[in-house]
A and B are shown apart, each in its own frame.
Chain A
Amino acid sequence: MIKETPSPVLLDVGELTVEYGSGEDAVRAVDGVSFQLRRGEILGVAGESGSGKSTLMTAVTRLQRPPARIASGSVTYHPGGSGSGIDLLASTPAELRELRWESLAVVFQSAMAALNPVMRLGAQFVDAIRAHRRVGRKEAWSRAEELLDLVGIPTNRVRSYPHELSGGMRQRATIALALACEPEIIVMDEPTTAVDVVMQRQIVHRLMRLRRQFGFAIVFVTHDLSLLVELADRIMVMYAGRIVELGSASAIYRDPRHPYSQGLRDSFPPLHGPLRELRGIPGSPPDLRALPTGCAFQPRCPKRLPECASTRPELPLLVEHGAACLLQRSADQATVDESEAVSR
């Protein structure tokens, strides 16, 4: 899973800021977020409600609705990981229509709301396919059957209405729909939250196999860090609209550097091994309308330093694994000092 040379960048998000409302009352839901999605990777986005993870995804896919507003930043899509980029924020609705399904597809949490309840399942596939491919109806219907088969739904279900399917089937159907035009990027916003664990495992299992088969990249958004650790190549942890930690999945699990990521990891009781009392994270998630000064996590942080209330830590750029935390900076400083001492 860990590749020596990083794959080419597909999606480059730079300093993206999304606000709800404008002027004085604007609430900043996403604040200067930068990340890159590489070809064929699974990027996990972990965070709690209000951390801005869904707002970020709707902004990146240009699906945000007023009062949400992209205040600044850039989203560039590099088709096939090529050098030339398409500025998604400057794209017209017609240009976006071209890209959707074809290059970039989205799977939402509630499959019931994502599927049209008065259209047969197959017809919804046919719509998406015929909007992008010059194929006949008959061919499109058989393609729909193929896609359903990919996610393990019996092909005769193609003529079913969404309400005739179980919750897990519906969720798998939306994944199949996202695959309809073989996009390069699939954004999944909590795709397995509404289904139970056995179904979740099956969906994830399918997804991994399909990714191996088609090589698409996935942005997987969830609050379930324990699932992400198993599934994702890299994970970014969000808190109060900012990325607080970014690193490989195993690094985030074994060696979380931000106290919030540590708390999040320790919030999941282990299934095996010794049991010890777990404490979670004290306090409540932040109110975006009145964020604390300095680091947003500082009021809940068990390792708070005096300067945390005044200095806002930044996420180090261009590192494999970094955390936006002052402690981290002093830790880095310490290693630098150490190596200097050694070299002397």
Chain B
Amino acid sequence: MTAAPLVAEAAEAILQAVGVTKRIPLHGRDRGRAVHALNGVDLTLRRGQILALVGESGSGKSTLARLLALGDTPTDGEIRFAGKQVRPGRRADRRAHFGRVQMVLQDPFSSLNNLHRVRYILSRPLRNFGRTSPAEIEGRILELLERVNLTPATDFIDKFPHELSGGQRQRIAIARALAAEPVVLLGDEPVSMLDVSIRLDILNLLAELRDRDGLAMLYITHDIASARYFADEISVMYAGHIVESGPAEQVTQEPKHPYTKLLLAASPNPDRLTVGTEAEDVDVDVDEKDLAEPPNLLAEPVGCPFAHRCPDAAPVCSATAPPTHSFAAGQLARCWLYDS
């Protein structure tokens, strides 16, 4: 599996978020205030490509996925499918969208209904999206099970979720998403609840589906090493802003934004053993300053959201929003550092 930065520009855009902003109003004592979950986010998913969305908890990754799946409506900006705006208020738009964009959630222990057998769980999307006649349903279910490598499929079709391991459940969740014959798969941390030894299995399965069916995929994760391995492109999110994006290899090997650099420096990296044995020597990148609290999402965003934690912060950073700079191979970073 290799990243294909040049194909990136050629592939057709399927699902897009354009200037999406989401405010979530608060209640009770904080009535009148709002969480600024997303601020003018642009994101493009292309056919046959995997885009990883990387960021810490609370950065707005899942909110964006929910907006893309029409689980919620943006405060501002729009969601486009194949270039056309999707209006969440219109029933026909919603229905068509649900059939084309499917989600795989983080926790396969709570995303499957424990009271139903695999047969029922997988038959629902087949019936709901009406592309399969009742007589064909069983055959389609077996086919789906085989597609996610649950073989022999006849062993799995009548099982309850509790009879399956975590990895097998996540395969069922993927099969359920595939049942609607989507063109886009949104994975919200699809492997982070699974055992380490089976994570790669699931990622490889998703990559196979991308290659075979040309699915577009969003891979939400906080593990930037797996994003590098699995995705074609990476977008890094911080406090509801996309701060850097570009080809996976470019973003992980030549990060431009200070937050991306921090994220990479913080990720476990056993190869550091070869550099030095004292952890202190290599941890210089993550010093006291980073202990500053995560950003306050309640305040109206002014300037760069990362300014108060940034080692390279200048006065301009907390006053004015940084411009977007483009680098070679389509890498973008929103940072004042590159303003000449």
Interface residues, chain A, CB within 8 Å of chain B? 1, 48-49, 152, 166-167, 196-202, 204-205, 208-209, 223-227, 229-231, 249-250, 253, 263-264, 267-273, 275, 277-282, 284-285
Contact = CB atoms under 8 A, between A and B. Distances in A.
B201 A280 contact: yes
B211 to A, nearest CB: 12
Given A197-B263, A197-B266, A267 B200 contact: yes
Those 9 A-B pairs whose CB atoms lie nearest each other, nearest first: A280-B200, A269-B229, A201-B266, A281-B197, A229-B270, A226-B268, A196-B56, A48-B195, A284-B165
A281 B197 CA distance: 5
B291 A284 contact: no
Interface centre among A198, A200, A205, A231 (most CB of B within 10 A): A198
A21 B222 CA distance: 38
B196 A268 contact: yes
Interface of B: 1-2, 56-57, 165-168, 195-201, 204, 222-226, 228-230, 249, 252-253, 262-273, 277-280, 283, 286, 288, 290-291, 293-294
Given A267-B199, A271-B267, A249 B273 contact: yes
A278 B229 contact: yes
A79 B145 CA distance: 56
Contact of B271 (A197, A205, A224, A270): A270
A288 B112 CA distance: 24
B273 to A, nearest CB: 5
25 contacts: A48-B195, A48-B197, A49-B195, A197-B223, A197-B224, A197-B263, A198-B286, A198-B290, A200-B266, A227-B268, A230-B279, A267-B200, A269-B230, A271-B228, A272-B271, A273-B271, A275-B229, A277-B1, A277-B204, A279-B200, A280-B199, A280-B200, A282-B201, A284-B165, A285-B197
A280 B203 CA distance: 10
Given A198-B56, A201-B265, 9 more contacts: A1-B278, A48-B197, A230-B268, A269-B230, A279-B201, A280-B201, A284-B165, A284-B168, A285-B197
A223 B268 contact: no
A226 B269 contact: yes
Given A201-B286, A224-B268, A284-B168, A267 B273 contact: no
A263 B228 CA distance: 19
A269 B201 contact: no
Contacts of B267: 197, 201, 271
Contacts of B204: 277-280
Contacts of B197: 48, 263-264, 267, 280-281, 285
Nearest to A207: B279
Nearest to A224: B268
A320 to B, nearest CB: 17
Contacts of B225: 268-271
B186 to A, nearest CB: 20
A42 B178 CA distance: 45
Nearest to A229: B270
